[in-house]
Amino acid sequence: MSFTIEQTKEKRESFDCYTYRIYDDGRFVAHYWHDYRGDEHGIEFVDGSKESWPVGRMTDFIQGGGPQPLSLSQRAMDYLKQKTP
């Protein structure tokens, strides 16, 4: 399994949530989101199941951003391995 994350290209307002798509070896598996401050976050899998606060805080799930490429933390990848077939 090789998980990747990319921010969606949709235009957003200043206080809207940031949204992402998560892939497993190129296969779309989930939408991930967090609010503009990173206080709230959640995930929705392609099967329709949802969960709030996967693996702790948003910063425990996503790494990088700004000048660094986005990536998933090891905790996020371990979580996704358990949740995806």
* Spatial CB neighbours of 75, under 8 Å, sequence gap ≥ 6: 55, 56, 60, 61
Q: What per-residue confidence (pLDDT) applies to 66?
A: 84
**Mean pLDDT, range 1-17, rounded to an integer:** 86
Distance (Å, whole) CA 75 – CA 62:
10
Domain boundaries defined on the chain = 3-83
57: which 2 tokens? 């805080």
Q: What per-residue confidence (pLDDT) applies to 13?
A: 78
Residue pointed to by tokens 């077939």: 85
Per-residue pLDDT of 20-74, as tens digits, reads 999 999 999 999 999 988 899 999 999 999 999 999 999 999 999 889 999 999 9
CA distances from 67 to 7, 10, 55, 64 (A): 14, 20, 24, 8
Per-residue pLDDT of 71-85, as tens digits, reads 999 999 999 999 997
Does 9 have pLDDT greater than 90? no
